[in-house]
Amino acid sequence: MNLAQTMVFVDLAGSTSTFEALDNAQVADVVTKVTQWIHRVVEAHDGRTVKFLGDGVLAQFKDGGKAIQAAVFLQQNHTERLRKWPEPLRMGLKIGIATGAVIEMAGDAYGDAVNLASRLSDMAGEHGIWTSESVISTLNARTSSGPLGPQDAHVSGLDGIRYRALGVVPVRGLAQPQSVFQIEWSEDVTTDLMTVQALLQSEGSNAQAEDQPQTEIALAWLGFSKTFVLGSGPLTIGRIPDCDFVVGDQRVSRVHARIEQVSNSVVVTDLSSFGTWVRFSDNPATDIALRRNECLLYGAGEISLGSGFDDFSAPVAAFRVVSLAKGASSPAATARHAA
């Protein structure tokens, strides 16, 4: 039977290396207990466990909102539990979610939504939840949010779900790139998605903002590098000398991209004629294509300007994002002082 369902693929990250490092029986016991717990969480959120896949679980939901709520519950509780586990056993969860037509046969499920959920799980990385646009569209269809635009990033009023657009991303095994969204599940992270809370901020919120961690981003291109302190305003990357970080290549627009800190997040926005591509060091096989839209920057990686990473001659700037506690010395400032 061909039904529209929301598929959730949950995978334990790093289980292969954990099996290599520790006693197989011990690791197998932990994996079994975690996957059985995932099964119980799925059922508690009105979902169905389709099958166990060694260190992973494929689940099915009729309601996309409940699927995301189950994924958020899994990440929040599993991450808290990992803090008490021995370091070698700290296997985080990678979760992918997609909605679409599903064929059910002999208790199993098949279809593009199943394949996409699996791919998004791989791409989300440890502690991540990535969803297809079809999932977010289902949420918006039940609220007054209006049509979904390429830069939409907000809270679903019905489900209290926070999410951000990551842009159009090539997905291995699929002919067409997919519009992908990241679910923001951490209760410790406040972003510009929290528009409702922003409207309720009092005049005393300035003091709270002063306690936010300082964030720096280091950029490098062809031997030239520069570190910027974010928070005081956006920085620009482009071809003209007026830009904060200049990349002298004809494929680079005059003002090509903007990088800014939005609450505790670092966001890059494409402003160019030919596009911007982003990839991260912890997931080098995944390129995020930006065309007049945005994505989050974290950790380290590369930004390709005006041409994709498959073009070996493309101007590529390396980046590294560093968040510092209030009052801590920045690496850049320490290096300048030492000099």
Residue range 291-311: mean pLDDT, rounded: 89
Burial grade of 334 (CB within 10 A; 0-12, 13-18, 19 or more): exposed
> What topology is assigned to 209-338 in CATH?
Tumour Suppressor Smad4 (2.60.200)
> Pick from 83, 162, 75, 159: which is nearest to 125 by CA?
75
Residues whose CB is less than 8 angstroms from the CB of residue 94 and which lie 6 or more positions away in sequence, other chains included? 10, 11, 12, 13, 121, 122, 124, 125, 126, 127, 128
For the cut 60, the answer to whether the pLDDT of residue 5 exceeds it is: yes
Q: What is the DSSP letter of 144?
A: S
Looking at residue 89, what is its pLDDT? 73
Q: What's the Rg (C-alpha) of the chain?
A: 21
Residues 177 and 170: beta-carbon distance below 8 Å: yes
Tokens of residue 166, six digits: 């990551």
> Pick from 126, 75, 73, 119: which is nearest to 97 by CA?
119
> Pick from 63, 295, 279: which is nearest to 164 by CA?
295
Show me where the domains of the chain are located: 2-197, 209-338
Query: Thinking of the domain 2-197, which architecture would CATH place it in?
Result: 2-Layer Sandwich (3.30)
Q: What is the pLDDT of residues 225-250, one digit of tens each?
A: 999 998 778 899 999 999 999 999 99
DSSP assignment of 263-317: TTEEEEEE-SSS-EEEEETTEEEEEEEESS-EEEE-SEEEEEESS-TTSTTS-EE
Report residue 296: phi and psi, to 5°.
Answer: -80, 145
CA distances from 239 to 52, 228, 246, 328 (A): 52, 18, 5, 33
The residue behind tokens 């679980």 is: 57
Classified as helix, coil or strand, 140 is: helix
Residue range 107-132: mean pLDDT, rounded: 88
Between strands 245-246 and 235-238, the pairing is parallel
More confidently predicted of 261 and 2:
261
More confidently predicted of 320 and 265:
320
Q: Which amino acid is at 88?
A: P
Looking at residue 146, what is its pLDDT? 45
Residue range 90-103: mean pLDDT, rounded: 90
Residue range 204-220: mean pLDDT, rounded: 63
Point out the least confidently predicted range of 137-146, 203-212, 234-243, 317-326.
203-212
Residues 182 and 193: beta-carbon distance below 8 Å: no
Opening angle at CA 290, ends 285 and 296, nearest 5: 75
Q: Which amino acid is at 289?
A: A
> Pick from 2, 146, 130: which is nearest to 68 by CA?
130
Diameter of the chain measured on Cα atoms: 70
Estimate to the nearest angstrom the gap between the alpha carbon of 8 and the chain centroid.
Answer: 16
Residue range 177-182: mean pLDDT, rounded: 86
For the cut 90, the answer to whether the pLDDT of residue 285 exceeds it is: no
Looking at residue 17, what is its pLDDT? 59
Looking at residue 10, what is its pLDDT? 94
Distance CA 156, CA 162 (A): 7
CA distances from 253 to 31, 68, 250 (A): 49, 38, 7
Classified as helix, coil or strand, 330 is: coil
